[in-house]
Amino acid sequence: MNKKTKVVWITGASSGIGAELARQYSILGVKLILSSRRADILANIKSECSYPENIKILPFDLIDFKSASEIVNSAFKIFGTVDILINNAGVSQRSLIINTKFEVFRKLIEINYLGHVAISNAILPYFIGQGGGTYVIISSVMGKYSSPYRSGYAAAKHALHGFFDSLRMEHQKDNIFVTIVCPGFVNTPISKNSLTGDGSPLGKYDKANASGLPVEFLAKKTIQAINQKKWEVSFGGKERMGVYLKRVSNKLLHYIVKNNSVR
């Protein structure tokens, strides 16, 4: 852990990757702010952590864009600073474009992209004012290439890269760092809440996620990448190769992903 790191704010901390980042950061003795919509589950995660006395919960809905400034203000009031904001909350998709209502695409963009932009934009003056800060974005390999059944999700993740690559360029001078993490399949309940074409959750676990990276491994590698101030990292199984293949042969990647049975 970087000695200067004092306060880490994690969104989507009630489940999966966010909850595991909270557990691992807590062992390191840092102060944590945990956010998501469900206050009761956040309280459970807090109680499982090594030093619950160093942890505060700040529940909010990412798509409540109008409250972003107020939420950031509340976050800063808790410990007087935020050193690292981990934009982790998200919802995936399991539907073909032809079967997907427009409202579902809107929701995927609102949660996975605009919600993070709202909070990140609101925190920027605070980061500049305190002499620096770190944004961590939990993107996906779907932020680097696309796949059937993930159109709106992949679009939102691609958009994160566009936004945060610009932010890094504009604010490197302000001692602001951006680490973008692109996981492949990770063993979390993400598929359960994934949106289907009519907006209802899939409601079941995917085999691909169940046999994906252990969430403990992903969280450990993410914390390492943040400490090393990496700009962008990807972790995963063979799906990670798509990130490199896209650079070499987009057409070959197209045929491999199109014909893959993993959905």
Ligand X SMILES: NC(=O)c1ccc[n+]([C@@H]2O[C@H](COP(=O)([O-])OP(=O)(O)OC[C@H]3O[C@@H](n4cnc5c(N)ncnc54)[C@H](OP(=O)(O)O)[C@@H]3O)[C@@H](O)[C@H]2O)c1
CA 154, CA 234: separation in Å to the nearest integer?
15
- The number of beta carbons lying within 10 Å of the beta carbon of residue 241 is 15
8 Å CB contact between 42 and 13: yes
Site string (179-218) toward ligand X, x via CB under 6 A: ----x-xx-xxx--x---------------x--x------
Among 8, 33, 111, 257, binds ligand X (CB under 6 A): 111
Strands laid side by side in the 31-35 sheet: 55-57, 31-35, 7-11, 84-87, 133-138, 176-183, 232-235
* Residue with nearest beta carbon to ligand X: 16
CA 174, CA 133: separation in Å to the nearest integer?
9
- The verdict on whether 135 is a catalytic residue reads no
CB closer to ligand X out of 89 and 167: 89
Asked if 12 touches ligand X (CB under 6 A), the answer is yes
CA 236, CA 213: separation in Å to the nearest integer?
6
Among 16, 133, 152, 242, binds ligand X (CB under 6 A): 16
CA 9, CA 56: separation in Å to the nearest integer?
10
CB closer to ligand X out of 64 and 174: 64
CB of residue 36 vs ligand X: minimum separation in angstroms? 3
Stretch that binds ligand X, among 1-9, 58-66, 121-129, 243-251 (CB under 6 A): 58-66
Determine which one of 153, 205, 244, 255 is catalytic.
153
Q: Could you give the residue numbers annotated as active site?
A: 153
